[in-house]
Chains A and B, each alone.
Chain A
Amino acid sequence: MSTASTAGSPTTAAPISAAGSSLAAARKFKAFATTFSISGPVVYCLTVYMNWPVFTFWPANDHFDWGMVTKGQGPNMLWYGWTLTAILISAGLGIIAMLLPERVIRKIPLALVWIFPILAIPFVVYSLMFWWRLAFKQ
């Protein structure tokens, strides 16, 4: 990573580092990073809703099963599998975006990077309804 200039910081007068990093400057990395982060929250919510874990983990005996498995020893854990599914699909979409022309990538609104995770929160709260129901039954 190279050292960046201190001029023109949009937010602070303090120095900015590594603006000249080759990875950060790469057009294809921009396409990958923005597509990955925009699609990530959407894909994650979809993965949780559809229950698509890449694998199921059984912590009682440290056992893994491919896909969604409900019968095993002790409680199962799906969150690892959901997270990996979301990362793999988002990375796939990011790689596809790298192949698209620049003019298409420039049309993607960058604000979606922070809007989608905010919109995901109500869904996440709703997806945990079984906990809230139990809590309010008491």
Chain B
Amino acid sequence: MSGLISSNAFWTIWLFVHLILALGLLGALTHQAMAVALPARKATGGIITRYRAVPAAGYATAVCVLWVLTFLVGSFIYTSYRINIRIPLEQEHYFKTGGFFDFKEHVATLGLVLLPAYWFFWKNAENPEYDNARKGVTLVLAVMCWFLFIVGHVLNNTRGFGS
């Protein structure tokens, strides 16, 4: 990228893209998790009721696409993290931060491998045989997504944008 933008700007743009994708994923999965955990029969009443009454099945493909895209962009940024972020973190003795980032990478992969079954269960949402499995996998993915988002956010605050 030499000549066009600085290395710092290059990685900051990709980190920003990662953030935007993660935000979309977080919103979609949280909607779905609310819809399966506290289903609302009618989209009437307050904002919370309307939030729970979203057409949850319609989010399944978007969640899969967003998880894969966020994963790929995160994997790309990870190369820079390993050199430019992790080494300084270790030198400054931010071991818990480094540990939680490694924890995050494992959780991201564990979530990735759940996507085929998750998609299948949601695309067959009219089949009661899959109700419990769909609910379980959706809630697990939503918790994972929140964990990934919070760890990523804290790590960015430690040594992220502009560092």
Q: Which residues of A contact B (CB under 8 A)?
A: 4-5, 7-19, 21, 23-25, 29-30, 32-34, 36-38, 40-41, 44, 48, 57, 59-60, 62, 74-75, 77, 79-80, 82-83, 86-87, 90, 94, 110-111, 113-115, 117-118, 120-121, 124-125, 127-128, 131-132, 134-135, 138
Which 10 pairs, one residue from A and one from B, show the smallest C-beta to C-beta distance?
A: A40-B113, A131-B99, A24-B123, A114-B136, A37-B117, A14-B55, A33-B116, A110-B133, A135-B95, A16-B57
Beta-carbon contact of B126 and A5 below 8 Å? yes
Could you list 30 examples of A-B contacts with CB < 8 Å? A4-B57, A4-B126, A9-B125, A10-B126, A10-B128, A12-B41, A12-B56, A14-B54, A14-B58, A15-B57, A15-B58, A16-B125, A16-B126, A17-B60, A19-B125, A25-B124, A34-B116, A36-B113, A37-B115, A37-B118, A40-B112, A57-B79, A77-B82, A113-B114, A113-B117, A113-B136, A113-B137, A114-B133, A117-B140, A128-B102
Q: Are A113 and B133 in contact (CB under 8 A)?
A: yes
What distance in Å separates the Cβ of A55 from its nearest Cβ neighbour in chain B?
A: 13
Known: A25-B123, A83-B112. 11 other contacts (CB 8 A): A11-B125, A11-B134, A12-B52, A33-B117, A34-B116, A36-B113, A36-B116, A90-B113, A111-B136, A113-B136, A132-B99
Let me know if A37 and B42 touch, CB within 8 A.
no
In the complex, what residues of B have CB within 8 A of residue A80's CB?
75
A83 to chain B, nearest CB (A): 5
Given A30-B120, A110-B130, A113-B137, check contact A10 B125 (CB 8 Å): yes
Using Cβ atoms and an 8 Å threshold, which residues of chain A touch B86?
A: 75
Shortest C-beta distance, A136 to chain B (Å), equals 9
Q: How far is the CA of A38 from the CA of B57 in the complex (A)?
A: 21
Asked whether, in the complex, the Cβ of A40 is within 8 Å of the Cβ of B110, the reply is yes
Does chain A have a CB within 8 A of B139? Answer: yes
Chain A residues, Cβ within 8 Å of B35: 11-12, 14
By the criterion CB–CB under 8 Å, are B123 and A19 in contact? yes
B99 vs chain A, min Cβ distance (A): 3
Interface residues of B (CB under 8 A from A): 35-36, 39-43, 52-58, 60-61, 75, 78-80, 82-83, 86-87, 93, 95-96, 98-99, 102-103, 105-107, 109-121, 123-126, 128-137, 139-140, 144
Q: Tell whether, in the assembled complex, residue A114 and residue B57 are in contact, meaning their CB atoms are under 8 Å apart.
A: no
Q: Is the CB of B113 within 8 A of A86?
A: yes
Q: Are B123 and A12 in contact (CB under 8 A)?
A: no
Residues on the A chain within 8 Å of B139, using CB: 114
Chain A residue at smallest Cβ distance from B71: A83
A114 to B110, CA, bound (A): 10
Q: Which residue of B has the minimal Cβ distance to A36?
A: B116
